[in-house]
């Protein structure tokens, strides 16, 4: 029996037809995967169902339990039992975990918030869900993965009948993903219907009952997961066979000269300086080489690559060599001028200016290269560079004047990568480069990374996805507790080996 019936739903944004006459049903009590490439309309449809995009902003209708939804806000949706876990965190950084979870339903006495009851209620909820977070912690003090778990707890606390997960695992560790699976299974046993938006095929086969595929805003097909294969979903999603996700890698020993070397490199916790987030790490990367770095959340991977780019501003200690010469990076601007670029983990927070256009974001880091001696921008050269990068990365955008906030997550990620490629780096550092990107776009990014390496660029890639680390890297480092737990050539590694070192930290250096 259907709980949701989507009938002829269409919606447009400036220059983009996000959904086109979409029609399908969602059965009660199922976990339904919503799949498609970036820009397919998955998140938009989820937001319509949850009231983020209100009634009247789209054409067509959505029936919930046989009645048409006429939601004006997410609060209206929550009142009838529909909630959403957003892909981009929707939390107040200065508030506590408890205040965020129960923001619209604070316990009170005589009209005054009862904080003791609030913290007790939150603690009970987090314990029940198995989420190890202190209710009194402020959101700003939590890592991204913990914030995502708070977002999940906030939605579950509303006891919804329909719960939408929009890329809920994009910033979670393997342990936290397993915890989310347990939460989903518990909700399913309680009869909750769930819509699970994800690019990760293994998650679809792990926890979903059915799959719905969208492409270019249109409905493609629905099927039961037990009746489909991985290749089926890829074919429906990208509209073609995807026989080889990872491009051929060069043979061992074919990389060039050493470009970067770190010796006894440490990064101290700014809050507790005695604690080392990165502890005496030594590493090197050569021109034409892709060095993959794997580890669990909290292993120090992002802190390590951030410190290379931030230099002295990052308060790192140790020795850095560039092309075998001692080198000191003063600040990010100096890093850029020295040929170092960093694609950060959080594109919304540190990668993009959402209120600016695609064109403006792409040229942000390379303005000096398109300016004359008086500092005036050569608009013709800038426009040429922008169009070249949009075509090179296949950014789906109606025009480069489009605000970047209106792009899908994957196309936003391409803009971030393009911004740094326009600086013509010699060392490109990529921190989770395909987070939130569909399988088709991932193949394009992997091909681009390999091409850049083949052209002689040195590349460091941090990734939480084991198949990605194994499929793209030439050499792999595994980090645990801020240290290098293992170093090996790609052909010496498999998923079991990498996880064993990430968990146990046994020393293995090739």
Summarize pLDDT for 121-177 with one digit per residue, the tens.
999 999 999 999 999 999 999 888 888 899 999 999 999 999 999 888 877 777 888
Q: What pLDDT tens digit does each residue of the chain (510 aa) get?
A: 799 999 999 998 876 788 999 999 999 999 999 988 767 889 899 999 999 999 999 999 999 999 999 999 999 999 999 999 987 778 898 999 999 999 888 888 888 889 999 999 999 999 999 999 999 999 999 888 888 899 999 999 999 999 999 888 877 777 888 999 999 999 999 999 999 998 778 889 999 999 999 988 899 999 999 999 988 887 888 765 555 678 887 665 566 899 999 999 999 888 777 788 999 999 999 999 999 999 877 789 999 999 999 987 767 899 999 999 999 999 999 999 999 999 998 888 888 998 999 999 999 888 888 777 777 877 888 888 899 999 888 888 888 999 998 887 778 888 999 999 999 999 999 999 987 677 777 888 898 899 999 999 999 999 988 889 999 999 999 999 899 999 999 999 988 888 888 876 454 444
Domain 2-238 of CATH type 3.20.20.80: no
pLDDT tens-place string over residues 469-496: 999 999 999 999 899 999 999 999 988 8
Enumerate the domain spans of the chain.
2-238
Rounded Cα distance, 122 and 133, in Å: 10
User: 15-50: per-residue pLDDT in tens?
Assistant: 678 899 999 999 999 999 998 876 788 989 999 999
The answer to whether 285 and 259 are in contact (CB under 8 A) is: yes
The DSSP line for 222-241 is: EEEGGG--HHHHHHHHHSS-
Four-residue CA torsion sign, 479, 484, 486, 490? positive
Whole-number Å distance between alpha carbons of 35 and 440:
12
Model-level pTM greater than 0.85? Answer: no
Asked if 188 and 161 touch (Cβ cutoff 8 Å), the reply is no
Instruction: Using CA atoms of 334, 337, 341, 342 in order, give the dihedral in degrees to the nearest 10.
Output: 20
Interhelix angle for 439-454 vs 409-421, to 10°? Answer: 10
Report the DSSP beta bridge partners of residue 278. 267
Query: Which ranges constitute the DSSP H helices of 313-371?
Result: 332-337, 358-363
Interatomic CA distance for residues 466 and 173, integer angstroms: 12
Mode of pairing for the β-strands spanning 475-480 and 427-431: unpaired
């Amino acid at each position: 029996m259907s709980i949701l019936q989507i009938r002829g739903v269409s919606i447009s944004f400036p220059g983009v037809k996000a959904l086109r006459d979409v029609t399908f049903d969602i059965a009660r009590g199922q976990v339904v995967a919503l799949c498609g490439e970036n820009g397919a309309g998955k998140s938009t449809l989820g937001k319509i169902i949850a009231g983020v995009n209100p009634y009247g902003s789209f054409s067509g209708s959505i029936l919930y339990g046989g009645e048409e939804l006429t939601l004006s806000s997410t609060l209206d949706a929550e009142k009838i039992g529909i909630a959403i876990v957003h892909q981009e965190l929707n939390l107040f950084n200065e508030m506590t975990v408890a205040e965020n979870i129960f923001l619209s339903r604070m316990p009170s006495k005589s009209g005054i918030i009862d904080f003791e009851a609030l913290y007790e209620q939150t603690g009970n909820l987090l314990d029940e869900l198995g989420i190890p977070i202190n209710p009194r912690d402020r959101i700003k003090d939590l890592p991204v993965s913990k914030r995502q778990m708070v977002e999940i707890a906030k939605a579950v606390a509303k006891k919804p009948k329909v719960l939408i997960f929009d890329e809920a695992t994009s910033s979670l560790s393997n342990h936290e993903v397993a915890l989310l699976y347990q939460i989903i299974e518990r909700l399913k046993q309680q009869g909750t219907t769930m819509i699970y938006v994800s690019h990760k095929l293994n998650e679809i086969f792990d926890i979903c009952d059915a799959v719905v595929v969208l492409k270019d805003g249109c409905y493609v097909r629905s099927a039961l997961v037990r009746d489909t294969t991985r290749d089926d979903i890829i074919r429906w999603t990208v509209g073609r066979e995807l026989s080889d996700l990872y491009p051929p890698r060069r043979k061992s020993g074919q990389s060039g000269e050493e470009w970067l070397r770190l010796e006894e490199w440490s990064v101290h916790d700014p809050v507790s300086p005695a604690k080392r987030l990165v502890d005496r790490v030594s590493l090197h990367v050569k021109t034409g080489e892709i060095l993959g770095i794997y580890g669990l959340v909290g292993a120090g991977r992002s802190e390590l690559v951030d410190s290379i780019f931030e230099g002295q501003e990052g308060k790192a200690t140790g020795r850095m060599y560039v092309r075998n010469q001692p080198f000191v990076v003063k600040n990010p601007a100096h890093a850029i001028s020295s040929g170092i670029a960093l694609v950060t983990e959080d594109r919304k927070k540190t990668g993009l200016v959402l209120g600016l256009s695609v064109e403006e974001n792409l040229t942000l880091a390379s303005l000096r290269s398109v300016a004359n001696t008086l500092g005036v921008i050569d608009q013709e050269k800038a426009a040429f560079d922008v169009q070249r990068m949009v075509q090179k990365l296949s950014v789906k955008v109606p025009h480069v004047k489009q605000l970047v906030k209106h792009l899908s997550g994957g196309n936003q990620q391409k803009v971030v990568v393009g911004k740094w490629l326009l600086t013509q780096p010699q060392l490109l550092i990529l921190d989770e480069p395909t987070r939130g990107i569909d399988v088709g776009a991932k193949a394009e990014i992997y091909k681009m990374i390999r091409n850049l390496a083949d052209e002689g660029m040195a590349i460091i890639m941090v990734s939480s996805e084991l198949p990605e680390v194994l499929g793209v890297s030439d050499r792999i480092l595994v980090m645990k507790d801020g240290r290098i737990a293992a170093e090996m050539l790609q052909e010496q590694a498999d998923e079991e080996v990498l996880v064993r070192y990430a968990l146990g930290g046994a020393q293995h250096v090739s």
